[in-house]
Structure 1
């Protein structure tokens, strides 16, 4: 539940903030302009994302056991890859995304195109929605309870919508940069838990044949299929008797993701030549 709630809250709030920037600028730049194309584009993107989530779940259910495990394993690895890229991209673009969105609104307004405004909202919300569908599918195999997992997902969306509406109306403010930094760290830890689970699914599908020896066995002390162990397995990827390959992959991902996220936050080097450089 925590994983699904955090995923939908963060992605939902990101989409809400993007919509807020577009609607606020539209209201200031053209007070009489209709916001209907923006809402239609956002609604279409939400419908597409929901359809993608349902399709992924149906596909997994209808496939035979071995192929279902393979799809889930590859979906986890894809979700981890996209999640890491998205976090790095958002960290790099956070300082300029508002200006870029306002420029795109200006272009649409100058062209008098409601379709362009709707397409702007559709692409912005659709990207977040499709990412969310993939992340939820990739993490659903770790859920202790399907009902709790999807309750957390819808609760996260509801909280994100309420927070976005409050921010748009000016009745609330959140430290955006601090929020995204803290939530990014939490998501990296959650994504790291997907990596050993993905390898386990691929091994059970007989697509991986050697993950090395088992490093320890704490099943009698803290089983990973019930109680607190089940919760740790769902959130952190805990395994009571992990293979060496799973542990190595977990540590390697954490190190790589931390390095990528840190590097994305560094300012780009100034490549403008200094005075007289052309004569050097």
Structure 2
């Protein structure tokens, strides 16, 4: 349940902050007349996101078991890819999000009502579709047939709405960079579990092999129906009897992704700078070597011409 609460909180707060920034900018610049198109775009984005989630949930029920597992596994992998891109993007742009949105809104104001609706829709709709897809995949991974994952998501979204409202009223100051760094790190852990579950779905759909090749089995030590088994399942999507492929994919995703995400920004910049300097030195060395060869050939030919002229 905690993992799904975190998804609802993180994704809901991202969308909530976007709405707060758009509305606050229009109010402060005296453009309250533009609020209606903005709210219209936000409402359309929310409706489409809910419809997308409903289509995933009810549309998949009409499929065969193998088709359901194939669809669930494929969408889980896609959801993990989108969320991974999102957490890296948000950490990089959190400090400049306000300026970026203000620029887009200024352009939309100059273009008219339709552009305002589209701007609000695109700003919130992307978050909504990502949330619907990842929540659906996470709910499948953390407890099919149970309402607790969905309750966790709804509680997270409700918390995000309250925090966004406090942020708008100026009663709450949030260090967005730190907030999105720590929640993003925890979300990467949740995504690793969703990815492993997606691999299991693909194995059950017979798209991937190795379903019977178990990495370990601790069901007797950590019963899935125990309180601690339920806790591990809800937070980390823990499975007591995963396959070797599941564990391998989980480790190959989690370790490098989390290390890169939590690495200090200065460290990543220094690595890029070092790589650029090394590449520049290599290019200069290659150019110098090539130039020397040409000079040497030229000198040789020139010297030969001089000797020929002397003769």
TM-score, structure 2 as length reference? 0.80
Judged with a 3 Å threshold, the aligned counterparts in structure 2 of structure 1 residues 108 and 238 are, in CA distance, closer, same or farther, namely: closer
Query: What is the distance in 1 between the residues matched to 2:11 and 2:157?
Result: 8
Match of 2:48 in 1: 48
Contact 1:22-1:105 within 8 A present in 2 as well: yes
Q: Which has the larger radius of gyration?
A: 2
Shift of residue 3 of structure 1?
A: 2.1
Contact 2:34-2:116 within 8 A present in 1 as well: no
Shift of residue 263 of structure 1?
A: 6.8
Match of 1:138 in 2: 137
Contact 1:212-1:245 within 8 A present in 2 as well: no
Contact 1:45-1:122 within 8 A present in 2 as well: yes
Query: What is the distance in 1 between the residues matched to 2:32 and 2:123?
Result: 23
More displaced stretch, 20-29 vs 256-265: 256-265
Contact 1:88-1:260 within 8 A present in 2 as well: no
Instruction: Name the structure with the higher helix share.
Output: 2
Once superposed, what is the RMSD of the aligned Cα atoms? 2.3
Gap regions ≥5 residues in structure 2: 277-311
Contact 1:9-1:160 within 8 A present in 2 as well: yes
Query: What is the distance in 2 between the residues matched to 1:123 and 1:114?
Result: 14
Secondary structure in 2 aligned to 1:174? coil
1:68 aligns with 2:68: yes
Contact 1:53-1:134 within 8 A present in 2 as well: yes
CA offsets 1:75-101 (integer angstroms, 9 cap, x no match): 211111111011111112223221111
Contact 1:196-1:250 within 8 A present in 2 as well: yes
How many matched pairs? 271
Shift of residue 239 of structure 1?
A: 2.3
Gap regions ≥5 residues in structure 1: 272-280
Shift of residue 264 of structure 1?
A: 9.5
More displaced stretch, 130-139 vs 156-165: 156-165
Contact 1:88-1:261 within 8 A present in 2 as well: yes
Match of 2:198 in 1: 198
Match of 1:7 in 2: 7
Judged with a 3 Å threshold, the aligned counterparts in structure 2 of structure 1 residues 77 and 28 are, in CA distance, closer, same or farther, namely: same
Shift of residue 204 of structure 1?
A: 1.1
More displaced stretch, 160-169 vs 228-237: 228-237
Match of 1:119 in 2: 118
Judged with a 3 Å threshold, the aligned counterparts in structure 2 of structure 1 residues 246 and 143 are, in CA distance, closer, same or farther, namely: closer
Query: What is the distance in 1 between the residues matched to 2:225 and 2:200?
Result: 15
Match of 2:301 in 1: none
Match of 1:79 in 2: 79
Judged with a 3 Å threshold, the aligned counterparts in structure 2 of structure 1 residues 72 and 226 are, in CA distance, closer, same or farther, namely: farther
Judged with a 3 Å threshold, the aligned counterparts in structure 2 of structure 1 residues 210 and 23 are, in CA distance, closer, same or farther, namely: same
More displaced stretch, 132-141 vs 221-230: 221-230
Shift of residue 249 of structure 1?
A: 1.1
Shift of residue 190 of structure 1?
A: 0.6
